[in-house]
């Protein structure tokens, strides 16, 4: 085997590790869904506070993602990529071994911090390996892009299998051997890269993460404490002050986490708002559908994971095969708007679930409609958000759109948790009250999707990109 063949083979092995990283980052958001009732029973989470098992990860991931990208530039992508796997490993052990609510949430937050280091450095490493060859880069991006929906699909099913036949801590421990293999392989496979001089804006990262966490806390606690209570009002004011401080810091710093001027780029702001509202509608549906299947219909963990498999498989296939072709034909605006409308329709259908319902009637058809809408809207809005920026700011644009989706997910889930609690979702053992609360959450999420469709219709343009062959196609992500 020649030296060039060996180098090429090593590149593709490196890509496999990069795709595995993307797979794991997304899987860690979905694998816990089926395990939530078990975590709740063992650690004593209230129904309202249970959403923090998801939000602790997402808040840390979304809040620190831009810092992860900046550190990747300053310290070198390989070094930050390895550090991210190490942090993810530590967080996974802590979350699995936790014997109390606070230790569980701390472990999940550490997992999210690890993911925030892994995700941007993985994309940087991919560009270092394949950026010089456009044809190979297209293949590499396709594999990398497919890893995300594959991780979501695998997480749902694996969560059910592990929870049913082992125990819920293993949904976290599964990361440990994969992280160890990654840490061993990184020095041999990944290019070293070079470090740069510059500042990291740790203050900006802390203020945006803390502001987001306090906002989510205030919204989740409001139904119990009261929206006009001192606790809620003070928390919301603190969140506004922290997020306002973050924006002020970004405007003043010479090397900010986010150059605010980037939002003046045509289409970028609109696409990010679409992603934020898409996360705000989709994640609450996924969360409350898990609870309905197990706490109302009485499905076990494995059966619940299997019940969600058609929906997540449909998303993967539609995102990879169908959505790019339809976007090339009909344009970004039509796809995002129609996708959000379909998502709202699926959520409205799910709101009709019954206390004595049936999976085949109450869940499967509606979840497939919602999944179709999610897949159609997600790819074109993501592609537009990234491709609208200048080439030298592609990494920043990628970090911003990922942050938008994670923030939308956290705030949307917090708001729908509060709404569901006010309609009785906290009354465990009462199927009618639980169903009423879950239905209210579906209605609220449908409203978020409708708002997203209206905003996208008013702000996005139906832009198509054109290849050198003259064929229209969406920008590669």
> pLDDT tens for residues 141-192?
767 767 877 787 788 888 888 998 889 999 999 999 999 999 999 998 898 7
- What lies within 8 Å, CB to CB, of 92 at 6+ separation is 107, 111, 172, 173, 174, 175, 176, 179
Q: What is the largest CA-CA distance in the chain?
A: 72
C-alpha torsion angle, residues 421, 427, 429, 433 (rounded to 10): -70
> What number is the average pLDDT over the span 418-422?
89
Residues 6+ apart with CB under 8 A from 286: 30, 33, 308
| Residue 231: partners with Cβ closer than 8 Å, 6 or more residues away | 218, 221, 225
Looking at residue 262, what DSSP letter applies?
G
pTM: 0.82
pLDDT of residue 467: 35
Cα separation, 63 vs 271, in Å, equals: 19
Helices 364-387 & 332-350 angle (0-180, nearest 10): 150
**Residue 473: per-residue pLDDT:** 39
What's the pLDDT score for residue 90? 97
CA distance 81 to 288: 33
Give the per-residue pLDDT at 196: 64
Give the pLDDT score at 361: 94
439: left (phi over 0), alpha (psi -120 to 50) or beta: alpha
Q: Are 460 and 333 in contact (CB under 8 A)?
A: yes
Neighbours of 9 (CB within 10 A): 11
Q: What is the mean pLDDT of the chain?
A: 85
Please state the rounded mean pLDDT for residues 22-36. 86
Q: What is the pLDDT of residue 153?
A: 73
Mean pLDDT value across residues 342-371: 95
Higher pLDDT, 108 or 283: 108
Q: Which helix (H) or strand (E) holds 466?
A: strand 465-466
pLDDT tens sequence across 53-70: 988 898 888 888 888 877
Q: Residue range 347-365: average pLDDT?
A: 95
Query: For residues 278 and 255, which has the higher predicted lDDT (pLDDT)?
Result: 278
Helix (H) or strand (E) holding 473: strand 472-473
Q: Which residues of 59-89 are buried (b: 16+ CB within 10 A; e: fewer)?
A: bbbbbbbbbbbbbbbbbbbbbbbbbbbebbb
Q: State which of 319-333, 338-352, 419-433 shows the largest mean pLDDT.
A: 338-352
Q: Which of 188-202, 274-288, 362-376 has the lowest mean pLDDT?
A: 188-202
């Amino acid at each position: 085997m020649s030296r060039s063949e060996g180098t090429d083979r090593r590149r593709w092995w490196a890509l496999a590790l990069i795709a595995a990283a993307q797979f794991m980052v997304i899987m860690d958001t979905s694998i816990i869904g089926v395990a939530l009732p078990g975590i709740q029973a063992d650690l004593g989470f209230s129904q309202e506070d249970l959403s923090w098992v998801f939000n602790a990860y997402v808040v840390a991931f979304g809040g620190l993602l831009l810092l992860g990208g900046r550190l990747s530039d300053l310290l070198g992508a390989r070094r930050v990529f390895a550090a991210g796997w190490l942090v993810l490993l530590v967080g996974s052990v802590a979350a699995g071994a936790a014997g109390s609510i606070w230790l569980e949430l701390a472990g999940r937050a550490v997992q999210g911090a690890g993911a925030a280091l892994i995700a941007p450095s993985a994309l940087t490493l991919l560009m270092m390996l394949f950026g010089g060859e456009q044809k190979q880069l297209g293949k590499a991006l396709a594999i990398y892009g497919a890893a995300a929906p594959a991780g979501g699909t695998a997480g749902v099913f694996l969560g059910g299998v592990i929870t049913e036949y082992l125990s819920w801590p293993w949904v976290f421990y599964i990361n440990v051997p994969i992280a160890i293999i990654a840490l061993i392989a990184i020095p041999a496979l990944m290019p070293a890269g070079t470090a740069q001089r510059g500042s990291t804006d740790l203050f900006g990262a802390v203020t945006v993460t803390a502001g987001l966490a306090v906002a989510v806390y205030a919204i989740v606690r409001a139904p119990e404490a009261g929206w006009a209570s001192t606790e809620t009002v003070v928390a919301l004011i603190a969140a506004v002050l922290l997020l306002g401080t973050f924006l002020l810091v970004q405007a003043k710093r010479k090397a900010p986490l986010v150059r605010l001027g980037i939002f003046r780029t045509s289409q970028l702001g609109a696409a990010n708002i679409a992603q934020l509202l898409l996360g705000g509608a989709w994640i609450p549906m996924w969360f409350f559908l898990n609870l309905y299947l197990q706490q109302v219909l009485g499905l076990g963990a494995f059966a619940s994971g299997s019940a969600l498999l058609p929906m997540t498989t449909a998303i993967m296939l539609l995102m990879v095969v169908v959505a790019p072709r339809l976007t090339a034909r009909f344009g970004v605006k039509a796809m995002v708007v129609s996708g959000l409308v379909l998502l709202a329709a699926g959520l409205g259908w799910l709101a009709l679930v019954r206390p004595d319902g049936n999976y085949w009637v109450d869940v499967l058809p509606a979840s497939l409609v919602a999944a179709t809408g999610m897949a159609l809207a997600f790819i074109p809005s993501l592609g537009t958000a990234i491709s609208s920026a200048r080439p030298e700011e592609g990494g920043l644009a990628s970090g911003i759109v990922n942050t938008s989706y994670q923030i939308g997910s956290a705030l949307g889930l917090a708001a729908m948790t509060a709404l569901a609690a006010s309609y009785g979702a906290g009354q465990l053992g009462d199927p009618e009250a639980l169903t009423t609360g879950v239905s209210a959450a579906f209605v609220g999420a449908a409203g978020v999707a409708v708002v997203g469709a209206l905003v996208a219709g008013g702000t996005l343009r139906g832009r198509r990109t054109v290849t050198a062959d003259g064929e229209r196609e969406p920008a590669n992500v």
